[in-house]
Amino acid sequence: MINQRDEELEALEEQFPPASGGAFADARDSVLASGQSVLQSENGEIFEVSPDGTQRFIKSIDPPMNVVLGQKIELP
């Protein structure tokens, strides 16, 4: 049985993904506006993105993977 406090916590937890996405986007924009570059991953590759929008390939990485709640993943 879920009590009111648990329901309130679940409602707050549902707000985290969109809020964190916005926070990361704001931080990225702030760094670029200050004249610095950021690292960005896309389609299994890491790029350095410069303030002028140019991208420089850094390296290939494993693609993202879906995980199930409670799943344990062994890292190399």
50 has a pLDDT exceeding 70: yes
The predicted structure's pLDDT at residue 32: 97
> Across residues 22-45, what is the average pLDDT?
94
55 has a pLDDT exceeding 90: yes
Residue 7's pLDDT band, with cuts at 50, 70 and 90, is confident
Residue 70 DSSP SS3: coil
The answer to whether residues 44 and 26 touch, using CB atoms and an 8 Å cutoff, is no
> Across residues 16-40, what is the average pLDDT?
92
The predicted structure's pLDDT at residue 10: 87
What are the two backbone dihedrals, phi and then psi, of residue 54, each rounded to the nearest 5 degrees?
Answer: -70, 150
> Across residues 29-41, what is the average pLDDT?
96
Residue among 68, 47, 70 nearest 58 (CA)? 47
The answer to whether residues 73 and 67 touch, using CB atoms and an 8 Å cutoff, is yes
